[in-house]
Amino acid sequence: MSLLAACGQDNGNGGGATKGGNGNKEQGAQEEKIELRFAWWGSQGRHDRTLQAIAKFEQKYQNIKVIPEYSSWDGYWEKLSTQVSAGNAPDVMQMSILYIKEYSEREVLADLNPFVGSALKIDDLNADVLSNQGTIGGKLTGIPVADNASVLLVNNEMFDQAKIGKPEKDSTWDELFAISRELKAALGDNVYGMFDSSSSLEAFMYYLFSKGDKMYSEDNRLGYNDENLKAWMSMWETARKEGIAPPANITASALPLSNADPNKDALLKGTVAMMGPTWIAAFPAYQSVMTDNVDMISYPRAEQTGSVLQTAMFFSASAKSKKQEAAALLIDFLVNSEEAADILETERGLPENKKVREYLAPKFTDRDKKMIAMLEHVSQSNPAWYDAGPKGAGEVTALFEKVIQKHQFGKATIEEAVKEFRVEADKIFARNNG
């Protein structure tokens, strides 16, 4: 990777950088020291690898100092929201498909188009993903890091202990609940077959897709049939009553679904045997601590698969950063360079950059091959694409959890919860989208 020839010119988006190594300056590069704040979420394994990649980047660009800010998934978004509100967002941030549209429309994320072809190369990235998911309102606000698909994770050891067969790669909800009953009968109390994902809007969205329904309408409102939400809630209510999913108080307090850190999850603890939704990109974090005791299956199907395709995550820059050019350099290094690939490998998922994936192919482990096989399996199953939703979707996601938990704790009937969510969600969307 080379610096742009005029990277030191002041274009209002931040200064350039000095190429490392022998300390010689690229043409037009400035000698000023630049500090970049870089925030991401993930497991300890991701943190360790990312810090090593940062060190490599700083060797190459010796006048750029990267200040890392990392946390688990559950704390990342609260902290980022606070930073954005205070006008103090990190210069570079890991961004989820869950929030990229909303953050882009709120003008939190910088348009990286001015740096394409110079500080930032995109030739080897998927053009469809760049245009359909990374570009919002004509602005390139997210550089895709890796390909991904939604899955459930399985604790193999629990099924071995119960002496029952593991779930098939493509299973229906009825089949998974049936096998959960067998597991419960074999292993007894305080063990559950399924993690209760009923309060997850993401989980419900995949259920809708499997039923041929959709979460959002074209006029920026909720678009599903209410009967499908009633069926979703009833399904989980039955599972809790049967004891094959944890009771509400345990799910809410003791079994957080971190989506990123296996050390915080019930799957590792042997409390639940199947958990999700999560992503193929999360598999390395679990495999690193659970070794052969963890596996992946597709998200449960109905009329069609519930698994969806999406970008594992994006790297974005702050619209308020005065160092956007240097931010673009860091993103370019992490996504496109072989030096970073040697360190990061597939920790964030299967690299979006096709040349990087080809470069890493000889190093692929059995774990990597399993991830590739799972991604290809989902890709061939006529999956939907993840829908980030209209502006306000993040607030609606929080509302969904709150409303469904009222039902879980017996403070609202299914009918009351279904009505409340639609009314209040559409108010949020109307307020945000006009």
Q: What is the pLDDT of residues 11-24, one digit of tens each?
A: 334 444 434 443 44
b/e sequence 105-118, b meaning 16+ C-beta within 10 Å: beebbbbbebbbeb
Report the percentage of the chain scoring pLDDT > 70. 90
Please state whether the peptide bond connecting residue 114 to the residue before it is cis, i.e. omega within 30 degrees of 0.
Answer: no
Q: Domain range for residue 46?
A: 34-145+312-352
Evaluate whether residue 287 is within a structural domain.
yes
Identify which has the larger pLDDT, 3 or 390. 390
Separation between Cα atoms, residue 394 and residue 41, nearest integer Å: 17
Domain count, the chain: 2
The per-residue pLDDT for 11 is 34
Out of 24-33, 117-126, 191-200, 381-390, least confident range: 24-33
- The confidence score (pLDDT) of residue 12 equals 36
What is the per-residue pLDDT across 253-309, written as a single tens digit (0 to 9) for each?
Answer: 755 444 446 666 778 888 899 999 988 888 888 898 889 999 999 999 999 999 998
Same domain, 344 and 204: no
Q: State whether 124 and 227 are in the same domain.
A: no
Residue 226: pLDDT above 50? yes
Within this chain, do residues 43 and 178 fall inside the same structural domain, yes or no?
A: no
Residues 129, 200, single domain; the answer is: no
- Which pLDDT score is estimated for 207? 97
Residue 29, in any domain of the structure? no
Name the least confident of 204-208, 340-344, 386-390, 396-400: 386-390
pLDDT reading at 30 higher than 60: no
Task: For residue 225, tell me if it sits in a domain.
Answer: yes
Give a yes or no: residue 302 inside a domain.
Answer: yes
Burial 362-382 (b: 16+ CB within 10 A, else e): eebeebbebbbebbebbeebe
Residue 392: both structure tokens together: 């306000």
In a domain, 361, yes or no: no
Q: Is residue 159 a part of any domain in this protein?
A: yes
**325 and 344 share one domain:** yes
- Mean pLDDT in residue range 188-193: 92
Which pLDDT band, with edges at 50, 70 and 90, does 178 fall under?
very high
Q: How far is CA 15 from CA 119, 127, 268, in A?
A: 11, 28, 46
Q: Report the percent of the chain where pLDDT is more than 90.
A: 69
- Average pLDDT over the chain, rounded to whole? 88
User: Tell me, what's the pLDDT at 118?
Assistant: 96
- The single-letter DSSP state of residue 165 is P
pLDDT number for residue 4:
27
Kindly tell me if the per-residue pLDDT of 163 is higher than 50.
yes
Confidence (pLDDT) at 128: 81
Q: Determine the number of helices (DSSP H) and then strands (DSSP E) in the chain.
A: 17, 14
- Does residue 376 sit within a domain? no
Q: What is the pLDDT of residues 87-132, one digit of tens each?
A: 999 999 999 988 898 899 899 999 999 999 999 999 999 888 898 8
User: Is the pLDDT reported for residue 142 higher than 60?
Assistant: yes
Question: Would residue 326 count as lying in a domain?
Answer: yes
Comparing C-alpha atoms, which of 423, 347, 396, 334 is closest to residue 61?
Answer: 334
50 and 153 co-located in one domain: no
pLDDT at 5: 27
Q: Indicate the residue among 301, 331, 352 that finishes a domain.
A: 352
Please check the confidence at residue 65 and state whether its pLDDT lies above 70.
yes
Together in a domain, 161 and 213: yes
Same domain, 247 and 184: yes
Same domain, residue pair 276 and 408: yes
Give the residue-averaged pLDDT of 392-411.
94
Span 155-165, average pLDDT: 96
Please state the rounded mean pLDDT for residues 390-409. Answer: 93
337 and 405 fall within a common domain: no
- Model confidence, pTM: 0.71
When pLDDT is cut at 50, 70 and 90, the band that residue 39 belongs to is very high
The whole-number pLDDT of residue 254 equals: 55
Judge if 157 and 108 occupy the same domain: no
Torsion sign across C-alpha atoms 17, 21, 26, 32: positive
How far apart CA 412 and CA 235 sit, in angstroms, is: 16
CATH number at residue 341: 3.40.190.10
Mean pLDDT of all residues in 181-194: 94
One domain, residues 213 and 322: no
